[in-house]
Amino acid sequence: MPFYRPDQLARTRRVIGLMSGTSADSIDAAAVEITGEGDEIHAELAAFIDIPHDVPFKTAIFRSFGADSTSEFLTALNTALGERFADAAIAVRDKAGWPKDSIDAVGSHGQTAWHQPDPVDIAGLKVAGTLQLGNPAVIAERVKAPVVSDFRSRDVAVGGQGAPLVPLIDWLLYRSPSRSRSLVNIGGIANLTYLPKGCQLDQMIAFDTGPGNMAIDAATRLSTDPPEPFDRDGKRAASGNVNLPLLEELLAHPFLAQQPPKSTGREVFGEHWTRKLIDVYHGPLNDLIATLTALTAESIVRAHRDFLPGLPDEMILSGGGSRNGTLVRMIQQRAGVEARTAGEMGWNSDAKEAVAFAILADRTMQGLPGNAPSATGAERGVILGSVTLA
């Protein structure tokens, strides 16, 4: 059942996408103009902003990942994140120059507190689940527009990993009749979408490849005083030497050999994983950063060779990692195919995931499935998310 009125489907729709990733650095907000219906749409970015979290708020988010978090704290953080997401939506709406009453929908991914796609035992029940924070009722009230949220849960409910969800958008926007492509998004976790030339939806392959920026950021932050939030421009990695024995040890992680569909997150490659590595590694910091950067690069390239029917004609890199020049060079040196950043192709690399959740919200409002079972492992395509009406 569509939530849109017929007149909305007949015109350009104004949809805002909101995203806060596994790195929890900031909120990305994209104002997107969408025309068309079903699988034949055109999306144009009207405005994009990135609003960094201040240190106290980021610390609060990271507390939600830990064992010392409480129900009281999660409840308050859920509302506080709703307010922050609402502020971001209003800011990008104003930057786009859209009137206050012109928003057709908001798609809010939320902030992942925990992602558990593999079942665990709860009082004798084997259950999987995923939890994203950022109260949609607050966003709907502040923005005065319908909000689609909690996208991942429905996919998990039909046996999927709940991730990755962006590949459907990759297929809608970037499939080519003449060239095969892999779209590699390097956020906290790295993921790829493979689109053979003339790709049909069921031919697409997509999965998480392993750590993206997450371990690099954590090692940099935990080992510098005052803490540096990340390896800016890959300068530390560029000045260090890759520890090859350590790299091979890290590449033996079982997730990297796991067959797709698969997804991962902070629960596997988060700060606890990096702390254990720091505790046993006693070499120069920049060598460790270089090795973790090589881990991301090598795991991405090995994923192409191990799990795809063949190397693509071109590899397109996006996300925060595409701004790390050392990481990009390492991928290019290992790939053996043309590897370019989305920015080099005229696409807004930073906006990709926020745009994706705007389009996913638009599909939900049309009453259309938003997952790709070939990517998530779900039993079938389903309409994603919960809709909170304004």
pLDDT tens-digit profile, the chain (390 residues) = 799 999 999 999 999 999 998 778 899 999 999 999 999 999 999 999 999 999 899 999 988 887 788 999 999 999 999 999 999 999 999 999 999 999 999 999 999 999 898 899 999 999 999 999 999 999 999 999 999 999 999 999 999 999 889 989 899 888 999 999 999 999 999 999 999 999 999 899 999 999 999 999 999 999 999 999 999 999 999 999 999 999 999 999 999 999 999 989 888 999 999 999 999 998 999 999 999 999 999 999 999 999 999 999 999 999 889 999 999 999 999 998 888 898 887 788 889 899 999 999 999 999 999 999 988 999 999 999 999 998
Torsion of CA 52, 57, 58, 63, to 10 degrees: -160
Secondary structure percentages of the chain, helix, strand, coil, to 5 = 45, 25, 30
Which helix (H) or strand (E) element contains residue 220? helix 214-222
The pLDDT value recorded for residue 253 is: 98
The pLDDT value recorded for residue 208 is: 94
The strand order across the sheet containing 181-186 reads 205-211, 189-195, 181-186, 314-318, 338-341
The pLDDT value recorded for residue 259 is: 95
The pLDDT value recorded for residue 118 is: 87
Query: Measured between alpha carbons, how far is 258 from 254 in angstroms, rounded to an integer?
Result: 6
Query: Measured between alpha carbons, how far is 86 from 138 in angstroms, rounded to an integer?
Result: 7
The pLDDT value recorded for residue 371 is: 95
Query: Measured between alpha carbons, how far is 255 from 236 in angstroms, rounded to an integer?
Result: 27
Query: Measured between alpha carbons, how far is 180 from 308 in angstroms, rounded to an integer?
Result: 11
Query: Measured between alpha carbons, how far is 262 from 206 in angstroms, rounded to an integer?
Result: 9
Q: Which two tokens mark 360? A: 């996913």
- Of 140, 78, 137, the C-alpha closest to 110 is 78
The pLDDT value recorded for residue 331 is: 96
Query: Measured between alpha carbons, how far is 323 from 164 in angstroms, rounded to an integer?
Result: 22
- In the three-class reduction of DSSP (H, G, I as helix; E, B as strand; rest coil), residue 283 is classed as coil
Sketch out the chain's domains with CATH numbers. Answer: 6-165+350-388 (3.30.420.40), 173-336 (3.30.420.40)
Q: Which two tokens mark 364? A: 């939900």
Rounded to the nearest 5°, which phi and psi values hold at 26?
-165, 175
CB–CB of 22/132 below 8 Å? no
